[in-house]
Structure 1
């Protein structure tokens, strides 16, 4: 299951360790270093899971959990060096879904992450390599980079990603992505493709994802997997 995980951890070494393990399981990850940033990022991007350290600057993890639980039904895995039973009970009372004490085995952390994501049962975001579409948030990510797309660009990209490596003519893309919208023409498809390449490709002139099939149309593929 590919998910977008927000990690709130002020210890750079610990944050990087968690990030590496999450990326290894093909999750998209964003790391923030204080509680205020964690609240702001959850409100802005609505992650699938929050890995939350308790002892953080600006706003501690307990208060972060208290604030967010009033606003969102978000799975929260609380991580802390506090080992007292009262701290653990307080974390659960504030809305944490799971609680892990430091030091911990990263494999146990990942097992708990997988369990929380299964329980959340949110739809898996379509993915091609590092390109991820989230239909719930209407959001596109390339690796850890968030890409801002127009509604028309998102619909076109979603149509292509739903059928990896399938070649679509411009007419098929007009029909399947936009239906009876008379403002979208085959010429418009070319404009949207050009704009999408600027946003999702490292080099729009040598696209890895959004490929032209000359004489026919376009397809989406993981060009790096195919060796370019």
Structure 2
């Protein structure tokens, strides 16, 4: 994805979708609109958007299910939109990998502000460090400072998840949700093993530098020095 990639609006209320679209366009963002939950995953697999505004209640498939599947293969920023107050506690925990949430009714200006905040907080990997870390998720290729990384598909998903949100701390459970698409039952220490392998391969590519940091009792984050 690039700065030209659209903001994907997934909303089945035509007037609300049009309102968000108009405000985002006025703020300088390209947009794309979908109105059915079944359309989202195929669309993102074809062309990943810059960010997704994802309504909770959708025809075909609800937003929580969509978010969970998206997180099995993509780290695209997701803002959930809900009118169901009883879901707020769940969304606040962001257990399914959403980056933020907005409750209906809301001001379209608030939507634009949230989008800007998320994009500032989570700069796109290829734009933020083009000479240091490159990841091609479609071809399962990665390089660090121009040196190819021999990663397994799982290690690549793990690195991509961490690196697309630099500075953000991910718990082991959050990382497990993202790297195992079949939601198999594994211990959270499985993540530690994958992190060790990933660190070793990064160290081989760039001795003396380790961008994956651990926070005792919390999880892991990615911090990349300027190249």
Match of 1:15 in 2: 17
Residues 19 and 29, structure 1, Cα contact 8 Å, conserved in 2: yes
Displacement after TM superposition at 1:2 (Å):
5.5
Match of 1:78 in 2: 80
Residues 91 and 98, structure 2, Cα contact 8 Å, conserved in 1: no
Match of 1:34 in 2: 36
Larger radius of gyration: 1
Name the CA distance, whole Å, in 2 between partners of 1:87 and 1:21.
Answer: 28
Show structure 1 runs of 5+ residues with no match.
Answer: 125-135, 138-228
CA RMSD of aligned residues (A): 2.0
Match of 2:58 in 1: 56
Show structure 2 runs of 5+ residues with no match.
Answer: 129-135, 138-227
Match of 2:48 in 1: 46
* CA offsets 1:171-198 (integer angstroms, 9 cap, x no match): xxxxxxxxxxxxxxxxxxxxxxxxxxxx
* CA offsets 1:150-176 (integer angstroms, 9 cap, x no match): xxxxxxxxxxxxxxxxxxxxxxxxxxx
> SS state of the match for residue 72, structure 1?
coil
Structure 1 residues 54 and 32, CA gap change in structure 2 (3 angstroms): same
* CA offsets 1:1-53 (integer angstroms, 9 cap, x no match): 66521110001001000100111011111000011111111111100100000
- Equivalent residue pairs, number: 125
Of the structure 1 ranges 77-86 and 39-48, higher mean CA displacement relative to structure 2 is found in 77-86
**1:114 corresponds to which of 110, 113, 116:** 116
* TM-score calculated relative to the size of structure 1: 0.51
Question: Once superposed, which parts of structure 1, at least 4 consecutive aligned residues long, lie more than 6 Å away?
Answer: none
